[in-house]
Structure 1
């Protein structure tokens, strides 16, 4: 409310307030709105400059009890209170805060800003390396992509320096000696709140201590902070929920995250849709959809995204020599099974599954969709096998549905594609690696060695086959999508349509914490930051958003230039006959892959899977019990979706073949 809309108290109002056990160091420093009613202010002490709105309206609480807006049993020092607020039973005081409208505060120990505060902005988080060297300066606008650059591009010191300058400028701009509690906020049964910015519609209920942070709640995506929570040096983004005794220290919590059940984290970053329960995190970079639910699970000094940690998953970053200096990465979609263990440093390829204990520092980043299995202290690698796993496909389908972000501004750019230039380029490399191992060690070798891991002969040959199926599927998909809806009268028209609109996307692609983009575009942005032409956090996020928006344009450029490498065809000279040949190969790849997934799903309905069903009956009762709980195989929604996918994709390929076959 602007200053000119406030007035000083009348003599009658001061007398009435005094009669209601109110005190003031100086009544002339208490200002009120034009429709202020003194009857709703009891047992209140004022010091410094205090501004009060009207106290019209009521709050209906759980159980049906109603409380009228007003002040009761509270000390206010340098506080502005908006219209229709109810503040009561503050054990100590509220100092140096602007409080919005329709806010309810009850049974709180203390709320204050003590000196100049940037409210968590600019806090240095020692991510990935506990001893430092990869610090990320958190801020209200921090995206997964910004943090990725800060943490991992240390080989460009001028870039890191510029990012620090930009973040420091933002933190300085938002520093203040006065905190803000937004409108429609609820704070009840809470301990100490110190140096906090609290956004609109936040609910803080039973928290123990919240210190030096920002809760960036908004109407479309409110934040909830629950019982027993302790947070210090933190930022919580819109739509997130922290409850049930979670403890955070020097952490950033992204949009729509959920941390609870005594989860503890220090020096860690959690981006969109992460979930953490029961376990512990230390110095981790948790990219979008990093999920850990189990009490005995520790994630430490690693980078993850689209990851699910099994119970008892653990990593070591300390070899008892120079301290906890090691780090590792599980690329997007990697999973760990129960009781898995990885000794950092190590890097696990995208969409891979880690089983057992691995101590040999493998780097399987160029062999995605693999299993890493421990046998007798040896890591065995099964390349590409996860492409046929029903679990992998199910994960890819569930992530977009589980994006709970409802805010007006989505900070993180998230690409959900299972097959993309990022993963397919690795399959090209993986295919060459496997072929080279075969050439060097001989086709009849029983075991091949790669990156301190062992690959069995059959696994190697299957890996080559799996990667070729996936490459066929991706390139065929791209070509069919490109030629969709076109009525071509000549091969020249086909070639004209195939030609990309841009050369951007030709080279290497990177996964920037959920964003899949050409490295050339990322480098262009980083050059701009280094040179000072890009100097705002919001601009950095906008450029990443543009890359995300143009993904499919860049993807086609990459696919177009891979056609010659994989099929031996110059795309500038392709004919309808060549397209039909590729589409037939694509159809075969899609159907083969879907049938492998179908067979994998069928294992979930085998007789062995029915163990524990039909507790006291015959085999027939076991089957009936199983079907009542799990349904039968053919009517399973996922199985039906796989069969429909085979049908739809076959029809899509046949439609294109029918459209261009007159040109052959």
Structure 2
């Protein structure tokens, strides 16, 4: 560590000649190679530490600027090596400035008293009036926030979690702020009680107050022009720019808020995008995306969600105020001008079309369409399984993971099909069969949760649900038996035995993390009973659950295989497995063919309207092809056809590998 020393009389004289002043030069300490010629027209007070000024900054356009301090008032600060600080309109106070920072044309940068830098801020998520508030921290994960906001029926758990947060906040509280190494802060207005991580770039922001910007070298943070942020935490790799205004918000890793987006009392977790619109009391789980000026997301919980223009919700019924909330489970979409009156709960991977006022709970009818007709919600179960958009979404999410930070806060499971969704499919089959049994198979319509299900939609839903059950269970079975040569049924039975008993029963989606409910319950009990007392230990459990997903998935799938296909683990044979694989092949191929047909619709003549504006039909077709490409060459279409062939081959390979095994 470099030693600091007092200024020499010659250095003090040179500083004063350069227009500098100080309340007490004895309290200014510098490094040995300090050169006073690079400090001018500045005033110092309090305890000051100054580094060396030996390097130049190379700026855009070819300009070079030597490190130094010019035209600034600096109080009680520690300045690192090779820093530019100039044109500070007010003052810098109580900050440790890292090495190689560039700070120019700012109003004020100060810490006033002891602060937690946004940690511990209460965000009134899901309910504007409070009751589900999440106290944010630097290490907040979507999974922690999910439990903390929704498990209010366990007050001892919430009290313990709050004490864990309080401990973290107190541990990181300080009366001094930091600006990490290699930061750039240019043309910025008011910054108060903000901790700024290394490699952060802030240009043109208007006001930043009481927050943490958790930038680092691997995943820098960018704060852009006209941004206003108060009581906030912004995580690594995120961008907040374009006049966005956030108040009491947590912004997770690799999020983007832009084009005047406005948010209050909201949580945005990994890879969320918000542009133009507005959020209030929003729980935006991973990959919640909203791009439109007319879109308001309020008092709702979403994840892997794309909001259409004009999407809106209401969180009150005009009597007792904004006390209601909604949950839209993973993978749902809203179309343009959709509306939902909370309270409501929508099942995973559903599509919401039109305006819905019935407070329905469709959580056990996944992959559905909710369609408004004559102010009534019509439900089409399972139909989203055959949509090309659903499959495209599932493929794009992992490809669009922009997180660069090796220390990830959220543990995200991208799987379209999982024990979580398939358990809901099983529940959906039971619901639909019970409706048939109660109202009769010949009934034209069925009523469920104030929704109307047509007879044809119900039968189609049952077919689609059966197909996807075959697909998921077959996927798990084939994966379990791959890359192994078997000579007997006994060897197959041994291979099919789960590696762990963990995984049986219900599974939950903790806003991106899919895990057995039993293991989540164990975690909650450990917190309640004081066995886990630190945020990092809770996150370690989340990590472990994520890493053990596939091992535990097989435990669940194997149990369901035995029940669904009526096989026994002690007597199952190769021929029974072959029967299951054949059903799997048929399911996969039929589902892919539906998706293929759905994709083909986008290349039909009606979809070419607007192309070839001033020509004939031939020009229209050619213009469409030059812009959108030919159907048979479309990358997704090609991938779908290849998927059909690959899956057929995979099934045939397993059948061939075990077909010679004799019964017994």
Give the aligned partner of residue 112 of structure 2: 114
Secondary structure, in 3 states, of the residue corresponding to 1:573? coil
- CA shift, 1:616, in A, is 1.4
Q: Give the drift of 1:564.
A: 2.3
Separation in 2 of the partners of 1:340 and 1:622? 32
Over residues 108-128 of structure 1, what are the superposed CA-to-partner deviations in whole Å (9 max), with x where a residue is unaligned? 000000000000000011100
Distance 2:42 2:30 in 1: 14
Residue in 2 aligned with 1:661?
A: 659
Q: Map of 1:189-204 to 2, 5 A cutoff?
A: 189-204=187-202
SS at match of 1:662: coil
| Cα distance, 1:619 vs structure 2 | 1.1
Whole-Å separation in 2 of the counterparts to 1:55 and 1:100? 13
Post-superposition CA distance 1:262-284 (Å, at most 9, x none) = 00000000000000000000001
- Which of 183, 198, 206 is the matching residue for 2:181? 183
Give 3-state SS (helix, strand or coil) of 1:571's partner: coil
Contact 1:144–1:287 (CA under 8 A) maintained in structure 2: yes
The Cα of 1:34 is off from its aligned counterpart by: 1.0
What corresponds to 1:254 in structure 2? 252
Matches for 1:510-521 after TM superposition, within 5 Å:
510-521=508-519
Question: CA–CA distance in 2 between the matches of 1:516 and 1:7?
Answer: 57
CA distances 1:210-235 after superposition (whole Å, capped 9, x unpaired): 00000000001000000000000000
For residue 663 of structure 1, give the secondary structure of its aligned residue in structure 2: coil
Structure 2 equivalent of residue 637 of structure 1: 635
Q: Quick check: 1:561–1:571 contact (8 Å CA) kept in 2? A: no
Q: 2:203 aligns with which of 177, 202, 205?
A: 205
Partner of 2:264: 266
Map of 1:367 onto structure 2:
365
SS of residue matched to 1:140: coil
Superposition map of 1:487-498 within 5 A? 487-498=485-496
Aligned partner of 2:503 in structure 1 is 505
Once residues 570 and 182 of structure 2 are traced to their aligned partners in structure 1, the CA distance between those partners, rounded to angstroms, is: 61
1:231 aligns with 2:229: yes
How far the C-alpha of 1:68 sits from its partner, in A, is: 0.3
Give matches, 1:498-577, under 5 Å.
Answer: 498-577=496-575
Q: CA deviation at 1:622?
A: 0.9
TM-score by length of 2: 0.99
Aligned twin of 1:131: 129
Matched residue, 1:305: 303
Q: Which residue of 1 aligns with 2:63?
A: 65
Distance across 1 between alignment mates of 2:595 and 2:297:
30
SS at match of 1:147: helix
Instruction: Quote the Cα distance in structure 2 between the aligned partners of 1:658 and 1:570.
Output: 22
Distance in 2 (alpha carbons) for counterparts of 1:512 and 1:544? 10
Using the TM superposition, give the Cα deviation of residue 614 of structure 1 relative to its aligned residue in structure 2, in angstroms: 1.1
Does 2:218 correspond to 1:216? no
The separation in 1 between residues aligned to 2:599 and 2:190, in whole angstroms, is 52
Distance 1:482 1:419 in 2: 16
Structure 1 residue 60 displacement after superposition? 1.2
Kindly state the Cα deviation for residue 533 of structure 1 after the two structures are TM-superposed: 1.1
Find the partner of 1:80 among 46, 59, 78.
78
1:265-318 Cα offsets, whole Å, 9 max, x none, are 000000000000000000010000000000000000000000000000000001
How far apart in 1 are the matches of 2:243 and 2:571? 64
Alignment of 1:255-404 (within 5 A): 255-404=253-402
8 Å CA contact retained: 1:563, 1:571: no
2:166 and 2:61 map into 1 onto residues whose CA distance is 47
Secondary structure of the residue aligned to 2:631 is coil
How far does residue 572 in structure 1 lie from its aligned partner after superposition?
Answer: 3.0
The separation in 2 between residues aligned to 1:51 and 1:551, in whole angstroms, is: 51
Give runs of ≥4 in structure 1 deviating > 6 Å: none
Find the counterpart in structure 2 of residue 585 from structure 1. 583
Q: Quote the Cα distance in structure 1 between the aligned partners of 2:629 and 2:136.
A: 47
Encode CA deviations 1:388-412: one digit per residue, 9 max, x unaligned: 0000000000000000000120100
SS of residue matched to 2:52: coil
User: Gapped runs of 5+ residues in structure 2?
Assistant: none
CA distance in 2, matches of 1:612, 1:278: 27
SS in 1 for 2:77: strand
C-alpha displacement at 1:570, in angstroms? Answer: 1.7
The answer as to whether partners of 1:45 and 1:75 remain within 8 angstroms in 2 is: yes
Q: CA deviation at 1:320?
A: 1.1
Give 3-state SS (helix, strand or coil) of 1:408's partner.
coil
Query: Following the alignment from structure 1 to structure 2, what is the Cα–Cα distance between the partners of residues 572 and 259?
Result: 56
Q: Does 2:405 align with 1:407?
A: yes
Secondary structure, aligned partner of 1:625: helix
CA RMSD of aligned residues (A): 0.6
Q: State the Cα deviation string for residues 76-124 of structure 1 (Å, max 9, x = none).
A: 1000000000000000000000000000000000000000000000001
Per-residue CA distance 1:540-590 (angstroms, 9 max, x = gap): 111000000000000000000001221111233210000000000000000
User: Would the aligned equivalents of 1:346 and 1:363 in 2 still touch at CA under 8 Å?
Assistant: yes
Conserved? CA contact 1:312–1:340, under 8 Å: yes
Query: Which residue matches 1:56?
Result: 54
Q: Is 1:613–2:615 an aligned residue pair?
A: no
